[in-house]
């Protein structure tokens, strides 16, 4: 185990500059999600949003990719995400994470992850990971 990995370690952040309607449509098509909120700007406006909200499960999928691409992650055994505020199409997101629990003996860590858009927290997640030997 790499000794630089300690509780409080911050993962390199991931900035996704923009999530487009085409990306949303590709996700909706692949996932079978037919919620009109993700395609109808008028419906989004009527519920008080500034634009079409990105599916929460797309945000969660991006979080899972972010964790799985972390160099110390071997596998993810549990991932929980709370969707706090909508991520709006044609905007970007920043995903940040830190190690909040570390068991060196069992090679396991818990990450706390934040997804933000324009400085506002959009989702919070927690991932339990089995660590790769570094």
Stretch that binds other proteins, among 5-13, 65-73, 101-109, 114-122 (CB under 8 A): 65-73
- Judged by beta carbon, residue 75 or residue 118, the one nearer other proteins is 75
For residue 89, give both structure tokens: 């199409």
For position 132 contacting other proteins by CB under 8 A, the verdict is no
To the nearest whole angstrom, how small is the minimum distance from the Cβ of residue 8 to other proteins?
Answer: 18
- Could you tell me the CA-to-CA distances from 5 to 55, 73, 133 in Å, in that order? 33, 12, 11
- Could you tell me the CA-to-CA distances from 81 to 4, 54, 56, 84, 112 in Å, in that order? 27, 15, 9, 9, 10
Question: Under a CB-based contact definition with an 8 Å cutoff, are residues 84 and 93 in contact?
Answer: no
Residues within the interface to other proteins (CB under 8 A): 14, 16, 23, 26-27, 29-37, 43, 46-47, 55-58, 60-62, 64-66, 68-69, 75-83, 112, 124-126
């Amino acid at each position: 185990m790499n000794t630089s990995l300690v509780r409080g370690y911050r993962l390199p952040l991931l900035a996704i500059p923009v999530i487009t309607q085409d990306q949303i449509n590709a996700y909706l098509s692949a996932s079978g999600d037919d919620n009109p909120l993700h395609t109808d700007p008028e419906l989004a406006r009527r519920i008080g949003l500034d634009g079409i909200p990105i599916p929460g499960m797309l945000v969660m999928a991006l979080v899972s990719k972010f964790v799985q691409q972390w160099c110390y992650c071997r596998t993810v055994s549990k991932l929980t995400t709370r969707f706090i505020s909508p991520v709006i199409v044609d905007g970007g997101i920043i995903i940040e994470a830190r190690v909040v629990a570390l068991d060196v003996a069992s090679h396991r860590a818990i990450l706390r992850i934040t997804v933000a858009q324009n400085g506002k927290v959009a989702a919070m997640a927690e991932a339990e990971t089995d660590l790769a030997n570094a």
